Structure 1
């Protein structure tokens, strides 16, 4: 099945009207094995929360949830699921890109075992409401790029979905990665997760973050490629890039940002608008691969590309200490190979 896909998903959250104009598509069957009720996938791993204990949580919509018991049957958008999984929470269902066309796991779903969750939708605007109701969820969790709009919850069915179970929204736009990770950590703790491995992963993330200051002499351009457009990200809008710039990395900020504030759209003919020593490219399945971008003459002639200083960017790394430790350690290793070009 195919459907409209946002080439930089976070970009277009603030400019949803642009989605219809995009021509990229992704394929997936929205599959996944259903987790049996009562299985480990149906409750937080290592949950120590008494079943009769009440539960309260205030999300980033300033919405306070007050439930008679701790939610155990959780459905989450893949980014939220990946973050919660690393903290020890085991959702029973996911929606958003989790399965590739060849049946493999989409990187956006992180460490989630997709054979142990029910897939409710794999592409934009796809959400199997009937399956969702059948799962009898206690809670739905999703990130937000626009406050009040749950990512990947379709507008056409959001009212029905929100009637089935309470929802939690975690804001991404304008936040730092540490703030977002902290929100997921707080949510996971409230759900009774065992938090195994968190101190070690946090130490790894902090160590890799400290090393970023060593590369402040490099000018970095962060991009995503589409069939007919080249997107330059606007650093202040993204938790990962806010984290990088706060740590000392010099990330190019576009001069003319599109409506919504998330990015600047360039034609491939104008791919040389900004100078950079290093280019970090979006690695997600809906973005062009390096070999595809290299077919664009203007891109191929960029100094960073010619110098071989073109490196992957995990644009939706899980918002967990583990997810960011992996992301930052890989980035540090790549930047260590680069040098200023002027």
Structure 2
């Protein structure tokens, strides 16, 4: 998928690097920095329960480092982070990518942390999301980060509601919980509204969500990405999903494109700007793709934010699905 999803990340936590971090944290960058830190330390704190224990964090954090899965949180909150994971252009609009490119990179796209850069950023809060299978690895990482600033990590499982619920918790940690909760409530109410308004279309239509891979294509399962959101709506989906079992997607060769022949509507995943990646473009150019009933009927549609990381993004997915339903 078009997202930062390496299951495990390398962390630069050697003795020399950690010693440098502690020196930077203790000595700081001058009187102005020391004054800012003293002010932050004198401010109010709140206790939050994380998947790594209770953490006391600033009630009004001013200098946030956003590690993986934290970037969307600070963007939606309107926070100017002091450090971010290396932005990947496909995840953001051109405006968002330009904005993120202005901030110091403290974590590579391959998930390697730069502890020295994090310390130099002098954060008062560090946030990030962790795939549940990486919990033990990040427990050790968090111990190192806690020596720099309070660190809030939440685990998540899967590529659907669990991910969105995790970023909702991060939004609450940075003081943007009210807006983020409203997006969640809006998502839930819109799901019920769409289910009711388009009950006939949902019952009579078979859907598929696909993306290209290297020389093949994949069909989203009902437990992940756009397929999960369609499943939440109660939509009937292609039989091609069944081969995925409990995995997030089923993979097929180009010669098997006709596995999508039962789909009346096909969504193909794009980046945040609405453009398919080269692998998906190659899929769309296949002659067998052009011969699919849904494509011939003009029912092949791009889908932005299929891998919705927040409820705001998930609401954008609902917007796109509803637009298609309204024309059926």
Give the TM-score band, short-chain normalised.
0.5 to 0.7
Provide Cα deviations, 1:27-55, integer angstroms capped at 9, x if missing partner.
xxxxxxxxxxx9xxx9xxxxxx9953233
Is contact 1:97-1:123 (8 Å) kept? yes
Q: Is the 8 A contact 1:212 1:244 kept in 2?
A: no
Once the two structures are TM-superposed, the CA of residue 270 in structure 1 deviates from its matched residue by 1.3
Question: Which residue of 2 is the match for residue 20 of structure 1?
Answer: none
1:305 aligns with 2:295: yes
Displacement of 1:158 after TM fit? 8.8
Question: Using the alignment, how far apart are the partners of 1:143 and 1:205 within structure 2?
Answer: 23
Shift of 1:144: 3.5
Structure 1 pair 306–231 and aligned structure 2 pair: CA distance change class (3 A) = same
Name 1:257's counterpart in structure 2.
244
Q: Displacement of 1:88 after TM fit?
A: 4.8
Tell me the equivalent position of 2:208.
Answer: 221
Counterpart contact for 1:87–1:193, Cα < 8 Å: yes
Q: What is the aligned partner in structure 1 of residue 255 from structure 2?
A: 269
Structure-to-structure mapping, 1:141-220, within 5 angstroms: 141-148=127-134, 164-174=148-158, 177=161, 180-193=163-176, 195=178, 199=182, 202-203=185-186, 206-207=189-190, 210-213=193-196, 214=198, 215-216=201-202, 217-220=204-207
Q: What is aligned with 1:66?
A: 55
Q: Tell me if the contact between 1:79 and 1:109 (Cα under 8 Å) persists in the aligned partners.
A: no
Question: 1:81 & 1:140 partners in 2: Cα distance?
Answer: 11
Distance change (3 Å), C-alpha of 1:121 and 1:294: same
1:78 and 1:109 in contact (8 A); partners too: no
Report if the CA contact (8 A) 1:87-1:185 is conserved.
Answer: no
Aligned pair 1:295/2:285, yes or no? yes
Instruction: Quickly say closer, same or farther: Cα 1:98–1:235, change in 2 above 3 A.
Output: same
Which residue number in structure 2 is paired with residue 21 of structure 1? Answer: none
Query: Is the Cα–Cα contact under 8 Å of residues 143 and 150 in structure 1 kept in the other structure?
Result: no
Aligned to 1:57: 48
Indicate conservation of the 8 Å contact 1:212/1:332, yes or no. no
Q: Name 1:140's counterpart in structure 2.
A: 126
The separation in 2 between residues aligned to 1:201 and 1:318, in whole angstroms, is 12
Q: Is the 8 A contact 1:87 1:198 kept in 2?
A: no
User: What per-residue deviation string (whole Å, max 9, x for no partner) do you get for residues 128-168 of structure 1?
Assistant: 444333212344333344443599x9xxx998667655543
Q: Does 1:335 align with 2:325?
A: yes
Contact 2:220/2:227 (CA < 8 Å) preserved in 1? no
Q: 1:180 to 1:305 in 2, by over 3 A?
A: same
Q: Is the 8 A contact 2:47 2:56 kept in 1?
A: yes
CA distance in 1, matches of 2:69, 2:95: 6
Distance change (3 Å), C-alpha of 1:134 and 1:325: same
The offset of 1:206, in angstroms, is 2.8
Shift of 1:277: 0.9
- Secondary structure class of the residue paired with 1:244: helix
Distance 2:142 2:257 in 1: 38
- Equivalent of residue 117 in structure 2, options 131, 149, 160: 131
Larger C-alpha radius of gyration, 1 or 2? 2
SS at match of 1:67: strand
> In structure 1, how many angstroms separate the alpha carbons of the residues matched to 2:65 and 2:163?
19
Pick 1 or 2: higher relative contact order, CA cutoff 8 A, min separation 6: 1
Is residue 106–residue 113 contact of structure 2 (8 Å, CA) maintained in 1?
yes
